Amino acid sequence: MTDERLQALHEHLAETGSRPVERTASRWLGEAEAVAEDIAAGDLPDDVLAERLATVDHILSHVDSTDDALADDHVEAAREIVDDLLAER
């Protein structure tokens, strides 16, 4: 897995923090961002990386809409990255 995609995952989720998102979505996105930051920051063993990616995927499954179009775009981009990375496992 490339570091660039892991960085991009974190960046997309971090961008949602600067947007006026719906309160419940904000909580989920904050949790996903924290896990993604951990993923992007370290050289994790493959099994741990896969587990954390699955955690981000699970957390994002709770976000239907953020009530902000730009944040929704970032969430969708993050989902696509996670899906691609998990498909490689």
pLDDT digits (tens, 9 = 90+) for 58-75: 999 999 999 999 999 999
Amino acid at 64: D
Give pTM, 2 decimals. Answer: 0.93
Q: Residue 53: helix, strand or coil by DSSP?
A: helix
> Does residue 2 have a pLDDT over 70?
no
Please count the helices (runs of H) and the strands (runs of E) in the chain: 4, 0
Domain of residue 16 covers 3-87
Q: What is the CA radius of gyration of the chain?
A: 12
With b for 16 or more beta-carbon neighbours within 10 A and e for fewer, the 62-82 pattern comes to ebeebebeebbebbebbbebb
19-78 pLDDT tens trace: 999 999 999 999 999 999 999 988 899 999 999 999 999 999 999 999 999 999 999 999
